[in-house]
Amino acid sequence: MATKEVSGPDTTISLVTAQMPDLNFKHIIELTDLTGIIQHAVFATPNRKEGYCIDDNSRALLLTVWACKNSRNQLAAELLPVYLSFIHYMQTKDGYFQNFLTYDKNRPEIRGSEDSYGRTLMALGFLINDGTSPLQVKTGQEIFAKAYPHVNSLTSLRGIANSIVGICQFIKYHFPDDLKRNMVIHLADKMVRMYKENKNDAWHWFEPILTYDNAMLPLALLNAYEITMHEEYLSIAFESLQFLESKVFFNNVFRPVGNQGWCKKGCPPAQFDQQPIDAMAMILCYQQAFRLTREPKYLNLMYASYRWFLGDNDLGHSLYDPTTGGCTDGLHSDGINLNQGAESTLAFWISHLVVSAALSE
């Protein structure tokens, strides 16, 4: 059984890589057609009635970029152009993105949410920095450049955070880029102002409630610090991450903030329903924290967050289904949501690739 021993002043852990399943794109292939990845499933059957969204196709692009980079996965190489083409199709003339597409190819919106815009910019940033195909990278750069002018007007906290991560990846590829570095500072300063407006002695967060994708917020500031070396970004990132940990770890078991009430300032967090994207966000944040500090505790916390998918959770149920390669849509008080949608399955496999890469270093 393969293990990785990680030791530090406060921790000695053994990460058992044999407990991690082999990469299995079976369900992702089932959900994907020539248009893109279908967003929902009825159990393990693609639900074509719900169509597609750019959120999930951006996550799918991120997954396939990393699978091509880290494991030279041939299936990922074949799927990646589908997701990139979907993003290109959903970009409007002014450079913004529509989010939803029906199965019969109707687009019900004029434009999508700022959150979906930020997730798309983030995925494109990683394609540009980590992509293995020069022509795909060039395509990503053209879409990114057309979308970029809208970043200055963002007001959504998560839209801002995801955009910061994407822009930082773009800068790494085109380093140095002082104009985009200045935009990172502009956006990160918005986050800092929100943090200071909402922080008090007992609440170290950017808004008066913890909801979904929470760890993306400190992750954004960790990325901003890496590009700018502004110490305030690093300080707030770790202070807010430590606060988030106090709300989502109980007896060393990861418990994402439940969407049945979330966690309002002065109130305990809702226990259910727990969502896979929150585990993924924690794993991405710990990946960056470890990259910057090399402190073993972040590998420990990354692995604990990953183990939530495999049964180290409040109910002791695995959300990953080895028979399909899919991941169920959440953990409810009475069991798991048996539907295996794109968001959940992609969250699991992105998390898997990140943890696998960290353990192989």
Q: Which one-letter DSSP state was computed for residue 7?
A: E
Residue 360: per-residue pLDDT:
80
Residue 16: per-residue pLDDT:
60
Letter string b/e over residues 134-151, b meaning 16 or more CB atoms within 10 A of that residue's CB: eebbebbbebbebbbebb
| Percent of the chain at pLDDT exceeding 70 | 95
Distance of CA 32 to the CA centre of its chain: 20
Residue 17: per-residue pLDDT:
58
What does the alpha-carbon distance between residue 233 and residue 224 come to, in Å, rounded to a whole number?
Answer: 7
Q: Is the pTM of this model over 0.75?
A: yes
Nearest to 349 by CA among 330, 326, 329: 326
Letter string b/e over residues 245-273, b meaning 16 or more CB atoms within 10 A of that residue's CB: eebbeeeeebbbbbeeeebeeeeebbbbb
The domains of the chain are located at 1-31+251-361
Number of Cβ atoms within 10 Å of the Cβ of 212: 15
Residue 160: per-residue pLDDT:
98
Residue 9: per-residue pLDDT:
37
Residue 359: per-residue pLDDT:
84
Nearest to 144 by CA among 27, 61, 31, 263: 61
What does the alpha-carbon distance between residue 189 and residue 68 come to, in Å, rounded to a whole number?
Answer: 34
Q: Which residues of the chain have pLDDT under 50?
A: 1-3, 5-13
